[in-house]
């Protein structure tokens, strides 16, 4: 099940178009990935070569999350 983060706004704060388009602009990508419970792919993935230059990724340990 995927966690959904609900964004709440301060009604007294004036919202810009940029803030409405990207409410997570104050968080870094790493913080957003950690909050979402993303898996760490560092030394945790096997690449399997498919036909015609395509590759398939296979996770080694699915309990290894970003810290």
Provide the pLDDT for residue 1: 64
Question: What is the structure's pLDDT at 7?
Answer: 66
Whether 50 contacts 56, CB under 8 Å: yes
Give the range of the structural domain holding residue 45, as residue numbers without chain letter: 39-67
Residue predicted with more confidence, 66 or 1: 66
Quick check: is 57 in a domain? Answer: yes
- In a domain, residue 44? The reply is yes
On whether residue 22 sits in a domain, the answer given is: no
Torsion, CA 22, CA 24, CA 28, CA 34, rounded to 10 = -130
**Residue 65 · residue 37 · CB < 8 Å:** yes
Asked whether residue 31 is domain-assigned, the answer is no
Total domain count for the chain?
A: 1
Give the pLDDT score at 20. 77
pTM: 0.53
pLDDT digit string, tens, across residues 5-58: 676 767 777 778 887 788 777 788 888 888 889 999 999 999 999 999 999 999
């Amino acid at each position: 099940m995927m966690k959904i983060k609900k964004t709440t706004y301060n009604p007294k704060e004036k919202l810009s178009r940029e803030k409405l388009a990207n409410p997570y602009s104050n968080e870094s990508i790493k913080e957003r990935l950690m909050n979402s419970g993303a898996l760490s792919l560092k030394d945790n993935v096997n690449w399997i070569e498919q036909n015609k230059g395509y590759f398939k990724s296979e996770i080694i340990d699915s309990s290894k999350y970003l810290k």
